[in-house]
Structure 1
Amino acid sequence: MTKEIEPHVPLLPLRGMLVFPTMVLHLDVGRDQSVQALEQAMLTDNFIFLTTQKDVSVDLPEQEDIYEMGTLTKVKQMLKLPNGTIRVLVEGISRAKLQSFINKDTYLAATLELLEDEVEIDVEIQALMRTMLEYFEQYIKLSKKISAETFAAVADIEEPGRMADIIASHLPLKLQDKQAILEIVNVKERLGEVIEIIHNEREVLNLEKKIGQRVKQSMERTQKEYYLREQMKAIQKELGDKEGKTAEIVELTEKIKEAKMPEHAEKTALKELDRYEKIPATSAESSVIRNYIDWLVSLPWANATKEDLNIHKAEKILERDHYGLEKVKERVLEYLAVQQLTKSLRSPILCLAGPPGVGKTSLARSIAESMGRNFVRISLGGVRDESEIRGHRRTYVGAMPGRIIQGMKKAGTNNPVFLLDEIDKMSNDFRGDPSSAMLEVLDPSQNSTFSDHYIEETFDLSKVMFVATANDLGTIPGPLRDRMEIITIPGYTELEKIHIGKDHLLSRQIDEHGLKKGQLQIKDEAMKHLVRYYTREAGVRELERQLASICRKAAKIIVSGDRKRVIVTEKSLEELLGKKRYSYGQAEVEDQVGVATGLAYTSVGGDTLQIEVSLSPGKGKLVLTGKLGDVMKESAQAAFSYVRSKAEELKLDKDFHETCDVHIHVPEGAVPKDGPSAGITIATALVSALTGQPIKKEVGMTGEITLRGRVLPIGGLKEKSLSAHRAGLTTIILPKENEKDIDDIPESVRNDLTFIPVAHMDEVLESALVGE
């Protein structure tokens, strides 16, 4: 039987709880909206509708946020608490269904449909009630959380619907399950649902009891073992027996004292040792604590190398091991000089940036030797987990410190030269960004208190001299790059490679291949030929491989008895290593129209670049070929726009861009090319093709062009100049702002070249084209 009630009843949404009819309980109300609803109820007939929120995190619920079925209750008592909340006593009257939801200005209200229990007490209902009471009694005996008085009170209830509600309110059910029972209006269905729930809960309690008994037996066995071990320790102590864990504790205590840790670290180590002593050896935590203590005592907290700050000795070592690299050597010697004067300078963070094989790693070793410090190297290539740098927390299985702390342990001193190899090869993923963790390591103002997740105690890295190496600075994040002093090693010139091969690499390879001095000799011209035509790299790794190949072939010749001594000349080089592998760009034999020589800077040094322009009848289409990158394509577009804007001054047909197609091609189409420095070369080739004026064969050029014809600066002038010299060019056109870089070019090359600094495209054309 149902009936409508009027007027609107104030609505109070409940968070995390539910009220059944006939229940009397206290509620604490704190939300302004709910307080206003209560006050409205007190002003009218004390009736208020309680329904449960679907999501407890919603502060201002709407109709979709609450269940339609709730309970009409009567407010019995209301008390304001000192903290501002209101404690209210309510009594459930009847199930009620939300008909309409009214959101007034200060409180919520609802129109309700009251629902009475649908029941006819017959034999089946009585059987269900008895079964439910029996199950509930068994549940109480197993649970022991509900008193016997509660059961007695429930047993006295005669209404089946009310009995089901009261029992459901005492069961540890989820809110959704209680709501499902509240929404069952048919009493027979409700009794069946509650019986099924009590039966399930009873089975769970039986299972919990069995598990509890097993755990208790295990605990009793563990306690017995602990008691016996304590007895054994006492007996060992009386007998003066130092074997077993007692001797181990004494040994570890001595190690902790000898490690000369800071006070905070020593305190932690002794505390962990005390825990280790009390925990049984069979416990999994025992090995975790032991490993942690071992790491603490093995770190060089106070062990430092006494530096040998002899600047002359350091200079000799650097000169002995490395040819060239003057700027790097000068920077290291400056640091040593200042260190010798102050004794307290914080170590710099140097980053040696350059192509592979230029000697970055070996230079770091030489720095360590010249300073008399220990050397340690870690490779960061492919590291993508922040824990690799900071370590894993000890809660994880197989936890260990990060690579920085591992490196310090390996170094054995707190002031080594620490090489961070391939710092540009770090990446990141969902496990964190290791480059962000490196910020603390490489900041002199922070690394004195470096914190590793595994060690937890702060470790002083301020005395460490960090040296990083990188191939590509572009992949290093800005904040990390800002913390390092970048020293660029652009690569070796051809002359430097010849010296390195002759003075360093050859003697090493002769020794490694078991040859004796005098059994193998490489003439100077052969070494030059080897560098020029059998290697193409910025470093010297390929050169060393080729020298190793010559040594192997020489060893075979000597062992076979053909000759006792092998002398390698320019002619015999081809017999040993085969045909030439590489050919460098050469200057044109004669002046040509529409072909300009550009200078390029690649990862393996400099090279020359022929840029060709061809014209054909058409509709002004601009075609770019030669596997050009986006930047180079844009330079070509800018050069074309510049030539169009200067058509009248250059005495070109003003409609040339509508009557002919322009094809710009850079040979070696399979090789990717990119960069802005080909701008003036493309523009010169365009003007030459359009005017018919040849370009001087001996001129090479480099520079970025703007739409107004300005020439902007470029990079890699030293390498470009060396490639021009090698190709037989005699004149180089370069941007005016790069004039300062001419001093970096080796004197022997500089003397053979003529440099023409230009600021505008007009000056380029004046110097590059034959005739007016």
Structure 2
Amino acid sequence: MAAAGVNWRKLNCEEKQLELPLLPLRGVIVFPYLIIHLDVGREKSVSALEEAMVNNRLIVLAAQLQAKTNEPEPHDIYKLGTLAEVKQLLKLPDGTLRVLVEGLSRVQVKEFVQRDPHYRVLVEKVEEDVVKSPELEALMRTTFFQFEQYIKNSKRVQPEVLASVSSIEEPGRLADVIASHLNLKVEDKQALLEAISPRERLEKLYAILLNELEIIEMERRIHLRVRKQMEKTQKEYYLREQMKAIQKELGEKDERMAEADELRARVEEQDLPEEVRERALKEIDRLEKMPPMVAEAAVVRNYLDWLLSLPWNIYTEDHLDLERAEQILNEDHYGLDKVKERILEFLAVRKLTQNLKGPILCLVGPPGVGKTSLARSVARAMGRKFVRFSLGGVRDEAEIRGHRRTYVGAMPGKIIQSMRQVGSKNPVLLLDEIDKMSMDFRGDPSAALLEVLDPEQNNAFGDHYLEVTFDLSQVFFITTANTTYNIPRPLLDRMEIIQIAGYTEDEKMEIAKKHLLPKQLKVHGLTKEQLLLTDAALTEVIRSYTRESGVRNLERELATICRKTARQLVSNQATTVRVGKQNLHKFLGIPKFRYGLKEEGDRVGVATGLAWTEVGGDILTIEVSAIKGKGNLLLTGKLGEVMRESAQAAVSYIRSRARAFGIDENFHENIDLHIHVPEGAIPKDGPSAGITMATAVVSALSGVPVRSDVAMTGEITLRGRVLPIGGLKEKVLAAHRAGINTVIIPKENQKDMEEIPAPVARKLRFVLVEEMDAVLKEALATSAVAEDVG
């Protein structure tokens, strides 16, 4: 059977093949029986149409594989196309041809006969074998029914099309007409065009219609859901506006809406970062939709309160006047030149750069030397706000990073709490007692501080509660500690250590006159005329009633004097109370300490050493008794392992030099040595008592006394070498407080003498030693032993 719609005999062609011009189509498939308008603009396509119009108006229409190809080659064109007749041709003003074509039948392109000026191809008619059967009839009816459903649901095809399609009885034509009205991909339409068998074509079309109906149904559901949501939103908006209008007329306002409006106004008033602004508005929207009695509403309110109370972009202006800053620091603190110099350096660099990140200083020193008050003075000198919190006893990581909002009673960490408290983004933040932190199963707070105290990371500090980053890079962090060995090494590495050793007697006098006494007079309601405290009395308080590196106990003793003075003024109606050295004991009681050990005189087997403690330097008396026995060595006084080893090394050195010291070389066989360090309840350790022990042992064995006005410190080796020690400044200050005249120190510690205050250095005589013989020569009283080692 010949292809439907074409009378090949009428075309004067008895063969099955024809040679006709080819028009490649982009994104369009023309089915048989379809009448369609095409716009043609390519030169080859225009030439093909002109030839068709000159001859028999017949042209072959075939789709391109890729619509974007502008100059298709033969391999870019599908080989099965449609033979069409040009019904009408109209030339548009822009040179484009608008042509009306009618599809006649399917043709197979066999060969490209001509390429220029347009394609001419040899095509062969495609025959369709149609054998009607009940199954084919059922397939036609089912496909028609699905097409009918498609028209009803999609609204993309005019209903009139259904009437014209219902009259078609040929299965192949029915499939082509329905396919021409579907909005399908080019590949799907080409597959239908290449389906030669009407049955195969109808089956493919039926599957496509089912798929399209499913898609249409999903689109309908989505549309209904979106429309319902939009209607709900519009309804809520309408009702909300009505409610606002009614409340406005009544002079009332909904509590939730009023709260939400107030919070939004706060957001608009503040200069918030974009991330914080978006988070705040999102939480306000959540709060507005919540019922007021829901527990989560309180959580959201608390979160918003924290978020909007922080100083996101609030700064104080730095006072970069170095002279004024130096004046303030000197007014508040006497001495501490090294710390003051570091602060002034920071201000100078800040004045030059205007963009220096906040440093992290760690003030290390014994209690009472003014570490905390110094940080407050730094804030005043810089014109910044000051905030402080103590890390002592903190053992929960959440204390630093905050709790997550999912926990009951969640709050931000101490850092964020301090920033809210101070209300500025560039305060002086003091982290007190950083060496007193601990850790347990809840985490390590020192690890959480690593981010806080790192200038390269703290510009985006993440608090678990806030869930947004906070910039800490402009904060001036100052930390305090009594010692550094309790601070984890990674944390210590992030800080600049400034040692504050302690005050000399002269410095304590000045601090008491300028700061402590005026403060206590004010606290107790006294004036300078009502209490006259002589310099001699004040010196006696420092020497006989306190023994410390700081001035905390000194302030307590002055407070005691002020209290007793106030009582005398009230009880006796006196106008002035004079406190001198003679009547000081009436106010403070008997002296607590004896100033100066040299008054006790020289003693055998007793040497004075110098020790470093957490509260500063101190003197260390070492006693040695030589008793007849079996050569045992007994160590008492709660000595640590290192100190015990120093004692053993000292005894071994003395055995090797016994003859030079005039000591029995066999003393280790018939004499027991008992080395004791008083205050046995206090643990003691360290190698710096080595030469002191050796001196005391030599004195006990030889019977030569040790000079009471000499103190010493240094580590001893088996060969008698004296090795350097640490904490020299603190030890020298302790010797000065105790009234020592001569201090023996290792020669390698000579470089550390620069840290010793000049007034103290002038009052002491320093002996630098490298060998134990030099120590004994200086420490032992004039004797044969001293001459021998000399």
Whether TM exceeds 0.5 here: the answer is yes
CA offsets 1:580-620 (integer angstroms, 9 cap, x no match):
12224512654443222222233444333332222122111
**CA–CA distance in 1 between the matches of 2:623 and 2:450?**
48
- Aligned residue for 1:734, secondary structure, equals strand
Q: Displacement, 1:245?
A: 1.9
Please say if 1:233 is aligned against 2:226: no
1:366 aligned partner, one-letter code: S
Counterpart of 2:470 in structure 1 is 459
2:409 to 398, 402, 427: 398
Counterpart of 1:446 in structure 2 is 457
1:496 aligned partner, one-letter code: E
Larger mean CA deviation between 736-745 and 475-484 belongs to: 736-745
CA offsets 1:425-466 (integer angstroms, 9 cap, x no match):
111111111111010000000000100001010110001111
CA contact under 8 A between 1:233 and 1:246: conserved in structure 2? no
Counterpart of 2:680 in structure 1 is 669
Please say if 1:719 is aligned against 2:730: yes
2:405 aligned partner, one-letter code: R
Structure 2: give runs of 5+ residues left out of the alignment: 1-232
- Aligned residue for 2:598, secondary structure, equals coil
CA contact under 8 A between 2:595 and 2:739: conserved in structure 1? no
2:501 to 463, 477, 490: 490
CA contact under 8 A between 2:503 and 2:550: conserved in structure 1? yes
CA contact under 8 A between 2:365 and 2:615: conserved in structure 1? no
1:526 aligned partner, one-letter code: A
CA offsets 1:186-234 (integer angstroms, 9 cap, x no match):
xxxxxxxxxxxxxxxxxxxxxxxxxxxxxxxxxxxxxxxx999988734
CA contact under 8 A between 2:630 and 2:670: conserved in structure 1? yes
Counterpart of 1:294 in structure 2 is 305
Tell me the matched-pair count.
547
Counterpart of 2:480 in structure 1 is 469
1:536 to 532, 537, 547: 547
Structure 1: give runs of 5+ residues left out of the alignment: 1-225
- Aligned residue for 1:764, secondary structure, equals helix
1:636 aligned partner, one-letter code: A
Counterpart of 2:581 in structure 1 is 570
Please say if 1:732 is aligned against 2:739: no
Q: Displacement, 1:562?
A: 4.7
**CA–CA distance in 2 between the matches of 1:279 and 1:228?**
18
Q: Displacement, 1:547?
A: 1.1
CA contact under 8 A between 2:722 and 2:771: conserved in structure 1? yes
CA offsets 1:493-529 (integer angstroms, 9 cap, x no match):
2221121111111111111111123111100010011
Counterpart of 2:186 in structure 1 is none
CA contact under 8 A between 2:247 and 2:254: conserved in structure 1? no
Counterpart of 2:281 in structure 1 is 270
**CA–CA distance in 2 between the matches of 1:538 and 1:502?**
17
Counterpart of 2:314 in structure 1 is 303
**CA–CA distance in 1 between the matches of 2:460 and 2:769?**
53
**CA–CA distance in 2 between the matches of 1:660 and 1:314?**
65
Please say if 1:314 is aligned against 2:321: no
Please say if 1:756 is aligned against 2:763: no
Counterpart of 1:420 in structure 2 is 431
2:288 aligned partner, one-letter code: E
CA offsets 1:223-268 (integer angstroms, 9 cap, x no match):
xxx9999887343223363442222222211211232222222122
Counterpart of 1:204 in structure 2 is none
Counterpart of 2:213 in structure 1 is none
- Aligned residue for 2:287, secondary structure, equals helix
- Aligned residue for 2:556, secondary structure, equals helix
**CA–CA distance in 1 between the matches of 2:288 and 2:681?**
69
- Map 1:44-83; keep pairs closer than 5 Å: none
**CA–CA distance in 2 between the matches of 1:657 and 1:638?**
14
2:387 to 376, 379, 391: 376
- Map 1:179-194; keep pairs closer than 5 Å: none
**CA–CA distance in 2 between the matches of 1:228 and 1:577?**
83
Q: 1:652/1:333 Cα in 2 relative to 1: closer, same or farther (>3 Å)?
A: same
Counterpart of 2:271 in structure 1 is 260
Counterpart of 2:75 in structure 1 is none
CA offsets 1:471-514 (integer angstroms, 9 cap, x no match):
23221111111111111112222221121111111111111111
**CA–CA distance in 1 between the matches of 2:649 and 2:495?**
36
**CA–CA distance in 2 between the matches of 1:544 and 1:693?**
43
**CA–CA distance in 2 between the matches of 1:652 and 1:549?**
54
TM-score, with normalisation over the residues of structure 1?
Answer: 0.68
Counterpart of 2:372 in structure 1 is 361
CA contact under 8 A between 2:688 and 2:725: conserved in structure 1? yes
CA contact under 8 A between 1:638 and 1:707: conserved in structure 2? yes
**CA–CA distance in 2 between the matches of 1:378 and 1:698?**
44
- Aligned residue for 1:695, secondary structure, equals coil
Q: Displacement, 1:406?
A: 0.8
CA contact under 8 A between 2:603 and 2:707: conserved in structure 1? yes
- Map 1:86-125; keep pairs closer than 5 Å: none
Counterpart of 1:709 in structure 2 is 720
Please say if 1:608 is aligned against 2:615: no
Counterpart of 1:689 in structure 2 is 700
Q: 1:252/1:643 Cα in 2 relative to 1: closer, same or farther (>3 Å)?
A: same
1:543 aligned partner, one-letter code: L
Could you list the structure 1 runs, at least 4 aligned residues long, displaced by more than 6 angstroms after superposition.
226-232
TM-score, with normalisation over the residues of structure 2?
Answer: 0.67
CA contact under 8 A between 1:730 and 1:752: conserved in structure 2? yes
Q: 1:363/1:727 Cα in 2 relative to 1: closer, same or farther (>3 Å)?
A: closer
**CA–CA distance in 1 between the matches of 2:527 and 2:774?**
58
1:284 to 295, 299, 318: 295
CA contact under 8 A between 1:615 and 1:663: conserved in structure 2? yes
Q: 1:405/1:697 Cα in 2 relative to 1: closer, same or farther (>3 Å)?
A: closer
CA contact under 8 A between 1:585 and 1:608: conserved in structure 2? no
- Aligned residue for 1:751, secondary structure, equals helix
Q: Displacement, 1:678?
A: 0.9
Counterpart of 1:618 in structure 2 is 629
Larger mean CA deviation between 380-389 and 245-254 belongs to: 245-254
Counterpart of 1:555 in structure 2 is 566
CA contact under 8 A between 2:365 and 2:616: conserved in structure 1? no
CA contact under 8 A between 1:259 and 1:298: conserved in structure 2? no
Q: 1:351/1:336 Cα in 2 relative to 1: closer, same or farther (>3 Å)?
A: same
Larger mean CA deviation between 510-519 and 448-457 belongs to: 510-519
Please say if 1:522 is aligned against 2:529: no
